Amino acid sequence: MSIFWSEKTRLLQPYTPGEQPKLKNLVKLNTNENPFPPSAMALAAMRSAVNADLRLYPDPDAKLLKQTIANYYQLSIEQVFVGNGSDEVLALVFATFFQGKTNLFMPDVSYSFYPVYCQLYDVKPKFIALDDDLDINPNDYQGAKAGVIFPNPNAPTGCLLHLHQIEQILQVNQDCVVVIDEAYIDFGGESAVKLIDHYPNLLITQTLSKSRSLAGMRIGLALGQKSLIEGLEKVKNSFNSYPLDRVAQAGAVAVFTDEAYFRQTCTQVIENRMWLEKQLIALQFKVLPSAANFVFASHISYKAELICQNLRSHGIIVRHFRQQRINNYLRISVGTMEQQQQLITVLQTLLT
């Protein structure tokens, strides 16, 4: 620990990302990356962008990308914000709307970066317990002071709220910002983007890391009414006025253009997930209903931590969380059918 650290830095408990092992030939099902490659159109666009113009700064406003996203979601360009992955976008959301406030409502089992941002921006969270089925209950989200934030589908559970349930939360929290983190929405849910024009306090964040297969490029976005986006832009321009490089902008525009490939890969992920759920249930796992590109599963007889360790010894990596309510669950990313078959074959050996 450095003697030069500030008090806040000394007290921070940073987010721990999923392991990115350097070993080869591992079946890597621990970080919810898309098992399918990026769109060929996106790869071609990014290769084309690697040229002499890299000596120049990129468009600080990413206008072409914003307009592409706006057209895709039938919004105006003033309702779109972009940044370096949804994690940076979320950090700017906390700084813009929640900094220094008390009673930011969030699920007790959710994306573990949210509490880190609370530390960084002096936000006092109020953790709302998931129900007995590990679902978010909208009835529990009344009376927020700082705001409300949750993923939909939730992470790491994969459970989904439907639009009428999201509206229920919006209607009882009209005096604060409600943030819906839609990192996984394309794998089985319906985006709340159609609610934006009806709720000035609704802000949606998304990422191109999951359904668009661009985790390595770090591209995120936020959607909301003009006044919310203006606030984000003000903070962004006080922090990093050139958030997305030329290559990232080119690739992002292309993935929104290649709709056929996007639909094809999302459908394949959903089909693979359904197969995986069926196989796990046959092996006596309890599997929560997932609308994401992962499943959350607990075995009726074997401890999750032990299964995780044994899978790793066979070259298969899944995610185990130590948080009390979920410490007997494994989060397993949807993979290719070959990867999933390897997983099930090993589990059949371990559990019989």
CATH no. for residue 327? 3.90.1150.10
Q: Is residue 1 part of a domain?
A: no
pLDDT of 1 > 70? The answer is no
Side-chain-side CA neighbours of 47 within 13 Å: the count stands at 7
- The whole-number average pLDDT for the span 175-185 is 98
Give the other-Cβ count within 10 Å of 6's Cβ.
9
Local confidence band at 19 (pLDDT 50, 70, 90 cut-offs) = low
User: Which of 212, 238, 258 is the last residue in one of the domains?
Assistant: 258
Mean pLDDT of 300-304: 96
Amino acid at 310: N
Q: At what angle do helices 246-257 and 40-49 cross, to 10 degrees?
A: 150
Tell whether the model's pLDDT for residue 161 goes beyond 80: yes
- Of the candidates 206, 231, 258, which is a domain's last residue? 258
Reported confidence tier of residue 267, pLDDT bands at 50, 70, 90: very high
pLDDT digits (tens, 9 = 90+) for 225-265: 999 999 999 999 998 888 999 999 999 999 999 999 999 99
How many alpha carbons fall within 13 Å on the CB side of residue 27? 23
Q: What is the mean pLDDT of the chain?
A: 95
Answer whether residue 133 is part of any domain: yes
| Contacts (Cβ under 8 Å, ≥6 apart) of 295 | 158, 273, 276, 277, 280, 287, 288, 331, 332, 334
Give me the mean pLDDT over the 312-325 stretch: 94
Q: In this structure, are 175 and 253 located in the same domain?
A: yes
Instruction: Evaluate whether 195 touches 169 at the Cβ level (below 8 Å).
Output: no
Residue 96 falls inside a structural domain: yes
Q: Domain boundary at 208, 230, 258, which?
A: 258
105 & 163 share domain: yes
| One domain, residues 328 and 338 | yes
Place of tokens 């979920």: 326
Domain that holds residue 80: 40-258
Q: What is the pLDDT of residue 352?
A: 80
What pLDDT, on the 0 to 100 scale, is given for residue 18?
62
pLDDT of residue 85: 94
Asked whether residue 28 falls in the same domain as residue 128, the answer is: no
Closest CA to 312 of 36, 33, 34, 23: 23
| Percentage of the residues of the chain whose pLDDT score is greater than 70 | 97
Regarding whether 197 and 60 lie in a shared domain, the answer is yes
Q: Which residues contact residue 231 at a Cβ distance below 8 angstroms, ignoring those fewer than 6 apart?
A: 96, 97
Residue 25 reports pLDDT greater than 80: no
Residue 169 has pLDDT above 70, yes or no: yes
Return the minimum-mean-pLDDT range out of 5-14, 55-64, 330-339. Answer: 5-14
Q: Is residue 2 part of a domain?
A: no
pLDDT score of 4 = 78
- Count up the domains in the chain and report the number: 2
> How large a percentage of the chain has pLDDT more than 90?
91
Q: Give CA angle at 317 (314, 322), nearest 5°.
A: 120
Better-scored residue on pLDDT, 188 or 14: 188
Q: Are residues 142 and 60 in the same domain?
A: yes
Does 205 have pLDDT greater than 70? Answer: yes
pLDDT the model gives residue 9: 80
